[in-house]
Amino acid sequence: MFQTFTQSSEPDQGPARLAALRARLAEQHLDGVLVPRTDRWQGEYVAPCDERLAWLTGFTGSAGFAVILHDVAGIFVDGRYRLQVRDQTARDFTPVNWPETKLSDWLIEQLPEGGAIAYDPWLHTAAEIEDLTEKLSGKSIDLCPLPNQIDPLWTDRPARPDAPYFAHPVEFTGETHAAKRARLTADTPKGSWILTLPDSIAWLLNIRGADIPRNPVPQCTAILHADGTVDLFAPAAKVAGLSGHLGDQVTVQDPDAFEDALATLDGPVRIDPRSCPDAIARHLAEGEAEVIEADDPCILPKARKTEVEIAGAQAAHLRDGAAMVRFLAWLDAEAPSGQLTEIRVVEALEEFRRDTGLLRDISFETICGAGAHGAIVHYRVTEATDRPVTPGELLLIDSGGQYLDGTTDITRTVIVGAPKDVHRDRYTRVLRGMIAVSRARFARGVGGQHLDALARMPLWEAGLDFDHGTGHGVGSYLSVHEGPQGISRRSKVALEPGMILSNEPGYYREGAYGIRIENLIVTREAPAVPGGDDRPQLCFETLTHVPLDRRLIDRSQLTGAELRWIDAYHADTLKLIGPQVDGMARDWLVRACAPL
Amino acid sequence: MFQTFTQSSEPDQGPARLAALRARLAEQHLDGVLVPRTDRWQGEYVAPCDERLAWLTGFTGSAGFAVILHDVAGIFVDGRYRLQVRDQTARDFTPVNWPETKLSDWLIEQLPEGGAIAYDPWLHTAAEIEDLTEKLSGKSIDLCPLPNQIDPLWTDRPARPDAPYFAHPVEFTGETHAAKRARLTADTPKGSWILTLPDSIAWLLNIRGADIPRNPVPQCTAILHADGTVDLFAPAAKVAGLSGHLGDQVTVQDPDAFEDALATLDGPVRIDPRSCPDAIARHLAEGEAEVIEADDPCILPKARKTEVEIAGAQAAHLRDGAAMVRFLAWLDAEAPSGQLTEIRVVEALEEFRRDTGLLRDISFETICGAGAHGAIVHYRVTEATDRPVTPGELLLIDSGGQYLDGTTDITRTVIVGAPKDVHRDRYTRVLRGMIAVSRARFARGVGGQHLDALARMPLWEAGLDFDHGTGHGVGSYLSVHEGPQGISRRSKVALEPGMILSNEPGYYREGAYGIRIENLIVTREAPAVPGGDDRPQLCFETLTHVPLDRRLIDRSQLTGAELRWIDAYHADTLKLIGPQVDGMARDWLVRACAPL
């Protein structure tokens, strides 16, 4: 099993560690220290050796940070983690509602004029520190870039993972790394780009790694030069097998050589301040070279998948869809007994995915919420929270797989036994929002911010809504959350052909149930419409093909177009998935895909 | 008649005036001069004495500017005016596609290193000059703030309008100017705001004027002090009757005293760089006071109409709606003869509005486009372009009235005789977009950028679109185009209760026909939905009640909800407008409002 159900938090050890840290700060005449959850690669997952926040506080959420002062230890977490942080941390830590309370405002309130706060400049981005420095300057609070304050105290810190990197061949990417390097540098006569995002380096060099769970990224750093050559800073042992793949345009160097390499660069040196560690910006500021702030050049090209990547995504989704169909058929047979638990469901689903023989990892911890647990948007079942799947309740399952040819992410909500009217009404509204996005055909230039309302209209009409974006970008055998594309009120990037997105509206009734329906979709150039004008338009092609729970669809709420969409989707699903399943699963699929 | 049908352009006089201007520039060793269409108040309309661009070039469009150099005279116009500019200007002027070609890029290409360009700092905003200065600095091109270069040559320049300002009483505004001044300054202990937008001053002081056509604004300037007092810089003759209304907290001064008054201000002095003339920013920069860039404080409060203003808008729309119904009944009776022309239609409509006895002005030049003219989005009929209204063609009429209690703006597209299938298909798609916005219920925080797609979906589905925003803000007996609210991909401001907007999707087939359907709507707090969650949501209430052309509605395209909306809208219209009309108009209304 990839997924585990234990809670790795150690809240009881927090107070002693906190005391040791404070003693260390006092020795250095520091008023406090920032302890972020992120590592130097600014991703969603961190390696066990980088779980500094969890080590200190016990809090294991995927976002947040602590600020340790002498008389208060604030732990800043967002709405998802308000309850969890109280369970996981000792009372010595004071939860702070973030981002409602800004770090700068909190520090200004807590600290005296002229206070001094330590931070590890490798763990914060240049933009973050620039912003914070400016805000704290009014009270002359000093942000001190210092070596990490946790690491010397963490005597049993795990070793850094040592699994080797591996080539991700052109049969999956559709473009060699030589072509990518040439494309990115074609219009730039001189200078270089500092690449610090593992996804970007993985994409650019067609490599993958195993430095963190779930996302097959290599935690390394690189410099892309305007002549198309790359200096890759990665442990020799991890890249030992890659010399043939990387070729002579990519020079591997030890990570320790990175800072010296920065000093040798001619300008302009381009950094993306939203992801580049403050430490790098500082090193560069000390040197001679001109530094330019610019977007990471890999992000947008990576988001526009090649036809080969799209074909891979289609294949991965059919494989994953067949596993989901076997799982849902099994679930429908087993759940009515009332004997299943959330953990058993998660285990079964992972087994069905493993049965494909091609599962490299799950793409994130499966969210499996029965009844009221479904309303906790980021619920992750543990042995402590596990509960039975009970007839008459909704079950929400959000999961995905990492395959060499693609990353999947799917949510299905099913009823165990007979649904209530309110279940059917809410499910149908969520589904209609999902369909509205799926069917959208739109002008070039439109971004996710312009389409988000489509997913909410049927809920808004009934005085309902959901408190998360409608969709996020998805990588190609890379991170399941990938920018810059998205579908939310804040997603400003214009959608472009080849971008893969999730389409996942939901509805959550706290203490009662949760509903979310999620397909992945890929942005395509829209085919011409007979009689239409000659305008460049885009549309979405649905990648995910797994039946929707017909027991939860209120047909009377549907427009003709919505009904036709569902029937066509089910017909396609039967055609595409049918040949891959047999026996009970096939019978289930045929029934599930019948016209409404 | 308010509207005229002559073309006031004088293209033949352009070359001689251009030569005189160039001689003047040569005397001063200047390489060129900017000649904007705007006056110092940056509005859509200018007084005849401020029509400098038209005087010089012959071009009478509502936006654009000329740049006169010694060997080329560029005239920058947007997509609406590409054809018109060629008709109205002599060949000595070179049309430039704007904003595709940026002024800065064009100047850099045309001018030598170190060139000098004159501009009148009262006619350009601070932000505009700041931006241009920065872009031209790379080639050391100097922007020289100088007295206006046209005015000394324009010997028969008309006098500035002298109609007096008048009070707009609290029975129409719902809030006294004392209360407004107190509200705006409540949280600000010191300093002042420079107010340069006539709408803002009109709103703040509850006054109106007649300095330009169509928009009843007073072209004056004001300083709002943090203690709530105002210095109003306006000609004594225009405000002579207002001393009782303005009271002793508002001090009237001569416009000539304004520059001296700036020098006496203590800081902070707040200016809105997007509307404040560069001249004012320069004066302030020379003084001692701290200058802060901030939004004009009147804009957002003005956009949020009071309940009294909303009630006024409702009354104005019923009155205007009755005039529209009489007009449409007349049109339906007369048009099939083929004897009407566009001008006759415009005249008749204005007569029906005048018959209300309360029309103060039309709110803009009526757009009346028969057949292919309907596809010209900003078409204004003149004697030269007038054409018959022919059976079998669509007729688009976009018009509005200024009443003391409110400003109206309505577009109806009607068929003369029998429609073609394509007319019905396109009309129904446009109508469905209009209905989708009308019916929208949405979360607080949503802006027009998030709703614009709703109006386009039925067109996008068929490979169609329209090239203008879906809606603009509308003033309360003020400008018919008013910010900051709007419905377009660029409209970022969150919608708030009381904001009045137009809802006007369209479809245009060049050379064939145009369709636009426009109602005004007001943003309201949405009533609770039984069974809904307790979320603050907003909705739109429709102000405009005039029948939609049922001959153009393709019922088979409609969802049940759309059909119900149309029938309910027509039932409301009959109920609200019916008591105001009789005879032929009433018979027509009853037929027009029958359920589909």
DSSP secondary structure string for all residues of B498-567: T-EEEE--EEEETTTEEEE-BEEEEEEEPPPPTT--S--EEEEEE-------GGG--GGG--HHHHHHHH
Residue A63, both tokens: 């976002």
Cα of A170 to nearest chain B Cα, Å = 35
Decide if pLDDT at B79 tops 90. Answer: no
Q: A40: which DSSP letter?
A: T
The one-letter amino acid at B227: D
Domains of chain A: 11-145 (3.40.350.10), 166-302 (3.40.350.10), 304-588 (3.90.230.10)
Cα B412 to Cα B176, B226, B366, B401, B427: the distances in Å are 36, 46, 12, 15, 11
A375 touching B (Cβ < 8 Å): no
**Across B549-554, average pLDDT:** 98
pLDDT for res B84: 85
pLDDT for res B80: 83
- Kindly tell me the burial class for residue A122, based on how many C-beta atoms sit within 10 Å of its own C-beta (0-12, 13-18, 19 or more): middle
3-class DSSP assignment, residue A394: strand
Residue B585, both tokens: 């108009």
H or E stretch including A137? helix A126-137
- Reported pTM: 0.94
Q: Are A504 and A487 in contact (CB under 8 A)?
A: no
pLDDT for res A213: 93
Rounded to whole angstroms, the Cα distance separating A332 from B93 reads: 76
The angle at the Cα of B317, spanning B312 to B323, to the nearest 5 degrees, equals 135
**Residue in B closest to A422 by C-alpha:** B531
Q: A242: which DSSP letter?
A: G
Select from A442, A445, A560 the Cβ nearest to the Cβ of B460: A442
At residue B378 the predicted structure's pLDDT band, cuts being 50, 70 and 90, is confident
Asked if B464 lies within 8 A of A489 by C-beta distance, the reply is no
3-class DSSP assignment, residue A209: coil
Q: Are A437 and A521 in contact (CB under 8 A)?
A: yes
**Residue in A closest to B508 by C-alpha:** A533
Asked if B456 lies within 8 A of A463 by C-beta distance, the reply is no
At residue B68 the predicted structure's pLDDT band, cuts being 50, 70 and 90, is very high
Rounded to whole angstroms, the Cα distance separating B445 from A467 reads: 13
The set of residues, in sequence order, having a beta carbon less than 8 Å from that of B551 and lying 6+ positions away, is: B415, B418, B419, B424
Asked if B460 lies within 8 A of A440 by C-beta distance, the reply is yes
| Beta-carbon-side half-sphere exposure of residue A13 (alpha carbons within 13 Å) | 12
A140 touching B (Cβ < 8 Å): no
> Cis bond leading into B388, ω under 30°?
no
A261 touching B (Cβ < 8 Å): no
pLDDT for res B138: 86
Select from A528, A559, A561 the Cβ nearest to the Cβ of B463: A528
Select from A443, A464, A528 the Cβ nearest to the Cβ of B460: A443
Residues of A in contact with B528 (CB under 8 A): 463
pLDDT for res B564: 98
Residues of B in contact with A457 (CB under 8 A): 440, 454
Cα B399 to Cα A62, B327, B413, B433: the distances in Å are 56, 12, 12, 20
Select from A460, A463, A465 the Cβ nearest to the Cβ of B528: A463
Q: What is the CA radius of gyration of chain B?
A: 25
Rounded to whole angstroms, the Cα distance separating B290 from B267 reads: 5
pLDDT for res A447: 98
Count of pairs with CB atoms under 8 A, one residue in A, one in B: 95
Asked if A443 lies within 8 A of B422 by C-beta distance, the reply is no
Asked if B453 lies within 8 A of A453 by C-beta distance, the reply is yes
Q: Are A410 and A520 in contact (CB under 8 A)?
A: yes
What helix, strand, coil percent values describe chain A, rounded to 5? 40, 20, 40
| Beta-carbon-side half-sphere exposure of residue A93 (alpha carbons within 13 Å) | 33
Residue A467 φ/ψ, nearest 5 degrees: -100, 45
**Residue in A closest to B456 by C-alpha:** A442
B113 touching A (Cβ < 8 Å): no
pLDDT for res B7: 73
Residues (pLDDT < 50) of chain A are: none
Cα of B423 to nearest chain A Cα, Å = 12
Phi-psi map region of A125: left, alpha, beta (phi>0 left; psi -120 to 50 alpha): beta
**Across B462-489, average pLDDT:** 97
Asked if B463 lies within 8 A of A454 by C-beta distance, the reply is no
As a whole number of Å, the end-to-end CA separation of chain B is 37
Residue B469, both tokens: 């925003």
pLDDT in tens, A206-255: 999 999 999 999 999 999 999 999 999 999 999 999 999 999 999 999 99
At residue B10 the predicted structure's pLDDT band, cuts being 50, 70 and 90, is confident
Q: Where are the alpha helices (DSSP H) in B34-81?
A: 52-57
Of A441, A460, A466, A461, the C-alpha closest to A451 is: A441
Cα of B536 to nearest chain A Cα, Å = 9
B391 touching A (Cβ < 8 Å): no
pLDDT for res B426: 98
B596 touching A (Cβ < 8 Å): no
Decide if pLDDT at B9 tops 80. Answer: no
The per-residue pLDDT of chain B, averaged, comes to: 96
Cα A457 to Cα A61, A569, B536, B538, B539: the distances in Å are 32, 21, 15, 12, 12
Cα of A435 to nearest chain B Cα, Å = 13
pLDDT for res A79: 84
Asked if A463 lies within 8 A of B526 by C-beta distance, the reply is yes
Rounded to whole angstroms, the Cα distance separating A400 from A431 reads: 20
Of B209, B50, B72, the C-alpha closest to B122 is: B50
**Across B187-204, average pLDDT:** 97
